[in-house]
Structure 1
Amino acid sequence: MHPHHRLFRRRALAVSLFSCVFSAAPAFADDAATDLDQIVVTATRTAQTQDQALAAITVIDRAEIERLQPASLPALLTGRAGISIANNGGVGKSTSLFLRGTESDHVLVLVDGVKIGSATSGGASLQDIPVEQIERVEIVRGPFSSLYGSEAIGGVIQVFTRRPAGAFSPNASAAIGSENTQRVAAGVSGSAADSRGWYVVNAAHENTDGINAYRGTRNFDPDKDGYRNDSLTVQGGYRFSERWDADLRAFRAEGRNEYDGSVNNEADTVQQVVGGRVRYVPGARVKLTAGLGTSADLSENFLDGVYSSTFDTRRELGSLQADIGIATGLLTLGFDWLGDKVQSNTDYARDRRINRGVFGQWQQAFGAQSVQASVRRDDDSQFGGETTGSVLWGWDVTDALRLGASYGTAFKAPTFNELYFPGYGNPALGPETSRSVELSLRGEHGWGTWSLNAFETKIDDLIAFDSSLGDTGGPNNIDRARIRGVEAVAGTTWLDWNLRASLTWLDPVNDGDNASHGNVLPRRAKQSGRVDADRRFGRFSVGASVTGAGERYDNLTNTTRLAGYGLTDLRAGFAFTEAWSVQASLNNAFDKRYETAALYNQPGRTWLVTVRYQPAAR
Structure 2
Amino acid sequence: MRKFMATIMLAAGASSSALALAQGPGAAPLADTPADGGIVVTASRSGDPVSGDLVGSSVTVLDSEALELRQTRILSDILRDVPGVAVSRSGAIGGKTDIRIRGSEGNHVLVYVDGIKASNPYQGEFDFAHLIADENARVEVLRGQQSALYGSDAIGGVISYTTLSGREAPGWSLRAEGGSFGTFSTAGRAAGTVGDSFDYALSASYLTTDGYPTAPGGTRDIGSDNLGTSARFNWTPGPDFRVTAVARYNRTKADYNDQAITAASPVILGYPVVTAVDSPGFRYRNSSFSGLLGAELDLFDDALTTALSGQITDVDNDNYNAFGYSYGNRGRRYRANFVNTVRFGNDRVRNRFTAAIDYEREEFRTVDPYGYAFTGKRHIDNWGFVTQYDVTVDDRLALGASARIDANDRFGDTTTWRLTGSYILPTATRIHAAWGTGVKSPTATELFGYYDGVYIGNADLRPERSRGWEAGVEQKLAGDALVLGATYFRNRFFDQIETAYAFVNGSYVSTSRNTGKTSRQRGIEAYANARFGDWRVDAAYTWLKAPQTVLVLADPAPANGGWQDPVEVETQAIRRAKNIASFNLSYVPQDLPFSATLTVRHNGRQRDYAFNSNYQYLLADLKAYTLVNLAAAFDISRAVQIYGRVENLFDENYQEVFTFATPGRGAYGGVRVRF
Structure-2-length-normalised TM-score: 0.83
**Do the aligned partners of 2:314 and 2:332 also contact (CA within 8 Å) in 1?**
yes
1:475 aligns with 2:512: yes
Aligned partner of residue 106 in structure 2, secondary structure = coil
**Aligned residue runs from structure 1 range 277-296, under 5 A:** 277-283=294-300, 284-296=302-314
Quote how far apart the aligned CAs of 1:187 are. Answer: 2.0
Query: What is the 5 A alignment of 1:524-539?
Result: 524-537=576-589, 538-539=592-593
Number of equivalences: 588
Does residue 443 of structure 1 match 2:465?
Answer: no
Q: Is residue 212–residue 223 contact of structure 2 (8 Å, CA) maintained in 1?
A: yes
Q: Does 1:458 align with 2:492?
A: yes
Residue 358 of structure 1 aligns to which amino acid in structure 2? Answer: F
2:158 to 156, 159, 163: 156
Q: Read off the aligned partner of 1:425 and give its amino acid letter.
A: G
1:335 aligns with 2:349: no
Letter in 2 for 1:354: D
**Of the two, which has the highest radius of gyration?**
2
Report the equivalent of 2:288. 271
SS in 2 for 1:76: helix
TM-superposition CA deviations, 1:292-347 (whole Å, max 9, x none): 00112221110026111121111111100011013331001000111111132241
Q: Given residue 93 of structure 1, which amino acid in structure 2 is its aligned partner?
A: G
Offset from partner CA, 1:258-289 (integer Å, 9 cap, x none): 01025982011113221011111112211110
Contact 1:60/1:138 (8 A) holds in 2 = yes
Aligned partners of 1:34 and 1:68: how far apart in 2? 18
1:229, CA displacement in angstroms?
1.4
Residue 98 to residue 545, structure 1, CA distance change in 2 (3 Å): same
Displacement of 1:156 after TM fit? Answer: 0.3
Q: In 2, distance between residues paired with 1:582 and 1:468?
A: 57
Q: 1:245 aligns with which of 242, 253, 257?
A: 242
- Could you tell me how far 1:475 is from its partner in structure 2? 1.1
Which residue number in structure 2 is paired with residue 361 of structure 1? 388
Aligned partner letter, 1:577 = S
- Residue aligning to 1:11: none
Structure 2 alignment gaps of length 5 or more: 1-20, 260-278, 368-372, 553-566, 611-616
CA distance in 1, matches of 2:240, 2:165: 22
Match of 1:300 among 296, 314, 318: 318
Distance of aligned partners of 1:122 and 1:51 in 2 relative to their CA distance in 1, 3 Å threshold:
same
Once residues 521 and 562 of structure 1 are traced to their aligned partners in structure 2, the CA distance between those partners, rounded to angstroms, is 13
SS in 1 for 2:165: coil
Q: Judge conservation of contact 2:73–2:132 (CA < 8 Å) in 1.
A: no
The match for 2:140 is 138
Report deviation, 1:464: 1.3
Other structure's SS at 1:222 match: coil
Aligned residue number for residue 9 of structure 1: none
Residue identity in the other structure for 1:391? L
- Per-residue displacement from partner, 1:549-571 (whole Å, max 9, x unpaired)? 11110029672100010010011
Q: Map of 1:504-519 to 2, 5 A cutoff?
A: 504-510=542-548, 515-519=567-571
Does 170-179 or 205-214 show the bigger shift? 205-214
Secondary structure, in 3 states, of the residue corresponding to 1:523?
Answer: coil
Match of 2:575 in 1: 523
Q: How does 1:4-153 map to 2 (within 5 A)?
A: 24-28=25-29, 31=30, 35=33, 38-45=38-45, 46=47, 47-132=49-134, 135-153=137-155
Distance in 2, matches of 1:199 and 1:36, equals 23
Name 2:600's counterpart in structure 1: 546
1:398 pairs, out of 399, 406, 426, with 426
Structure 2 residue 653 is matched with structure 1 residue 593: yes
Consecutive unaligned residues of structure 1, counting only runs of 5 or more, are 1-19
Work out whether 1:223 is the aligned partner of 2:225. no
Q: CA RMSD in A?
A: 2.3
Structure 2 Cα separation of the partners of residues 305 and 185 of structure 1: 35
- 1:344 and 2:366 are equivalent in the alignment: yes
| Corresponding letter in the other structure for 1:361 | Q
For residues 385 and 134 of structure 1, the distance between their equivalents in structure 2, rounded to whole angstroms, comes to: 40
Distance, in Å, in 2 between the alignment partners of 1:512 and 1:590 is: 35
Query: CA separation in 1, counterparts of 2:597 and 2:477?
Result: 24
Output the TM-score relative to the length of structure 1.
0.91
CA–CA distance in structure 2, aligned partners of residues 79 and 302 of structure 1: 35
Residue 16 of structure 1 corresponds to: none
Compared CA separation, residues 584 and 58, structure 1 to 2 (3 A): same
Q: Percent of aligned pairs with the same residue? A: 24
